[in-house]
Amino acid sequence: MQTIINGGSGLVNLGTDDKSGRQYVKTPEEYPQHHPKFFIFAESGPTTEEVVVGDQRIQLYGEKTFQEKSAYFNHATKFANAVNAEGNAETLVRLKPTDAGPNPSIRLWMDVLQTTVDTYERNSDNSIKTDIQGDPIVDATTPGVKIKFIATFFATKQEAETFGAATIVAGDQTDAQMNVSQRYPLFDIDHSFFGKDGNLAGLRLWAQTEQNNGILPSKMMAREKAYPYGLAVVRKNSDTGNVKPVSTVFGEQSIMVTFKENVVDPVTLKRLYIGERAVADYQNLNDLRYPKVFGEFGRIHVYQQNIETLLTLFHGLETPFIDASYDFGTSVEDKHLFNFITGTTGTGAPYHSFIFSDTGNSVRLSQSTNVFARGGSDGTMTHASHAALVGEYMDRYLDPSDELQDVAYHVESHFYDSGYPLATKKKLFKAIGLRKDTVVVVSPSEFGQPALTASEEYSVAASLRAEAELYPDSEYFGTGPFRALIQGSAGRIRGSQYTERFPVTYEIAIKSARFMGASNGRWKAGNGFAGQPGSIIESMYDLTIPWTPVSIRNRNWDIGLNWLQREDRSTFFLPCTKTVYQDETSILTSYTNACAIAYCHKVLAKIQRQFSGVDNLTMAQFNERVNTAFSAAIKDKFDGRYIIIPKAEFTSMDQIRGFSWTLPVDFFGPNMRTVMTGYITSRRIEDYAA
């Protein structure tokens, strides 16, 4: 920077002081208050938790996943489809059966036999001269190699554990002197996901030449001394068998790669090493500023030392024949300019000492040759295996060290019993143990089993209620569980190909999605279902236990079992949506209130994250800003139903500690009205005027 030294005439130009910028404020992520988590079998897709809505589900998990009567579809998928149909985002977890195979894979080998090979007469363009029958004219012999490419895969989970750890083994080529070939692993690559769908993905790998590329990247070749290869990821259509390239995240149908490390194209500044690009160019999993994209292949390991060894061998054997037509010179530093994929120079002239040996187990790599991954399988996808996997997953909710306790990332709010066996139903309640921001909705009915009688429903519901009581809402305040609901009855779903009955939790899931499923987190006015018309059963018919006598209703109420009632001869409705909470005078008996309170717990966690680390406010300023932030976070969220007042404070212990604060929230809500006392007074009509 210039400074003033003396009075000599001149301008000290300090540049531009930009005062137009503003502090960037990230738009907060919005999720619906009703954000259920469903566990599915799927055609494809990750086993991580993914938040999806609309056609995102098909792009990620495959179309067959959500088609009724497909091998992947079950009762949980039906619930997920119903919620999605209301435009409600959901978290999906793809379950992996215990007997599913490893991810589909490709291990590419080069089988190399060092031997004596024939050399051939050449034309002026260095192509091989042939006789009148079209056979090449042998000129002499020379030390050389006969090679072939072989593609294998991991057939078992044990084999998959050897990813990146293959060793050189004996090959299956021999010559007259009984020399045996050596088989070198070149690279391992496997699919991003398990399942047989991944067997439809593959690779094309070819050498770029003037014939197929028009012009070679001469600047890169000259500076980096590396031969350019083309790579394309392809996918086969399972119905037509057509094979098409898969686009990179930038929409390219293929990419240029090298088998030399740390190569940079001097024209585009792209890094070209196949180990860096073969996977990364097709996916975006880490920079979530942009859409999340999973590539067909999830990881690659290049056996670079084997490639270095082979290129040293190949280059040395070809050195006696090097002339001006070659892409490389005699220096060993040029070895990576040796085209070991198709064995030709950039002009397409075959090398002299490098011969292909095509056999039944070999593959000739080219721009039109597809090498598909193999070894993928879906595993056993039954009702029982699904239930067992869900139960195993739910066990995690009681582990305080499990990542599921990270409410900023795991944004689920609701769990639905779509027809699980009793043991799995009980495990769903584990979600409300440590997580105060979740709600569980269960049913006595099991999908695919005979309809329950009223007494059987009562018995199962009593067992479920007892299980829920293992997870009180607050040991500190002595508050029992209330973020759980047991809904009785089952029925058939209108428009479904399934003839089996589903639990009426299906209806509650749809109504909750319609009411609380907007992406802006606001309840939608007019879509509540605590009372008619919202409480009318619309999606189901042929319902079990259509009549519940008053004496049985009282019993059901005591254990938290909700029932159905007739509105007229053809219509049923939900007379109540009572939680399992025991104090029937409390507002916590209302499912709607329970959902609102669960959301308030999400807001509490958000406020803690927002103000953690603040050190520039007085206690009064801090309390004011915390209260303001909480009120802003719940503004217009609950259809005007509640009065919610945050009262941030520093208790005496907070003041002693200095690093903590307390945020009590007063939640004022209505009781759920269910019982009406009515009577009629008879009077003479003459008394009306009086």
Task: Return all residues near 394 (Cβ < 8 A) that are at least 6 apart.
Answer: 424, 427, 428, 430, 431
Helix ranges (H only) for 447-504 are 454-468
- % of the chain beyond a pLDDT of 90: 89
Q: What are residue 222's DSSP bridge partners?
A: none
* Single-letter code of the amino acid located at 452: L
Q: What are residue 492's DSSP bridge partners?
A: 541
pLDDT value, residue 26: 62
pLDDT value, residue 18: 85
Q: What are residue 90's DSSP bridge partners?
A: 52
Specify whether the CB–CB gap between 414 and 439 falls below 8 A. Answer: yes
**Domain positions in the chain:** 105-372, 380-593
Given a cut of 70, the residues of the chain with pLDDT beneath it are: 1, 23-28
- Residue 323 sits at φ, ψ, to 5 deg, of -140, -165
Residue 148's nearest CA partner among 299, 369, 358, 350 is 358
Specify whether the CB–CB gap between 234 and 244 falls below 8 A. Answer: yes
Q: Give the predicted TM-score (pTM) of the model.
A: 0.92
pLDDT value, residue 614: 95
Specify whether the CB–CB gap between 414 and 442 falls below 8 A. Answer: no
- 3-state SS record for 71-124: CCCCHHHHHHHHHHHCCCCEEEEECCCCCCCCCCEEEEEEEEEEEEEEEECECC
CA atoms within 13 A on the CB side of 524: 18
Specify whether the CB–CB gap between 112 and 181 falls below 8 A. Answer: yes
Specify whether the CB–CB gap between 535 and 573 falls below 8 A. Answer: yes
The string of pLDDT tens digits covering residues 479-497 is 999 999 999 999 999 999 9
Classify 232 as helix, strand or coil: strand
Specify whether the CB–CB gap between 61 and 40 falls below 8 A. Answer: yes
Classify 309 as helix, strand or coil: helix
Classify 505 as helix, strand or coil: helix
Q: Residue 664: is the preceding peptide bond cis (ω within 30°)?
A: no
pLDDT value, residue 593: 97
The string of pLDDT tens digits covering residues 517-559 is 999 999 999 999 999 999 999 999 999 999 999 999 999 999 9
CA-to-CA separations, 603 to 30, 441, 531, in angstroms, rounded? 12, 22, 27
Specify whether the CB–CB gap between 604 and 558 falls below 8 A. Answer: no
Give the pair of three-digit tokens for residue 88.
């409600």
Let me know the angle formed at the C-alpha of 153 by 148 and 156, rounded to the nearest 5 degrees: 150
pLDDT value, residue 633: 96
Classify 307 as helix, strand or coil: helix
Q: CA-CA distance, 226 to 223, in Å (whole number)? A: 8
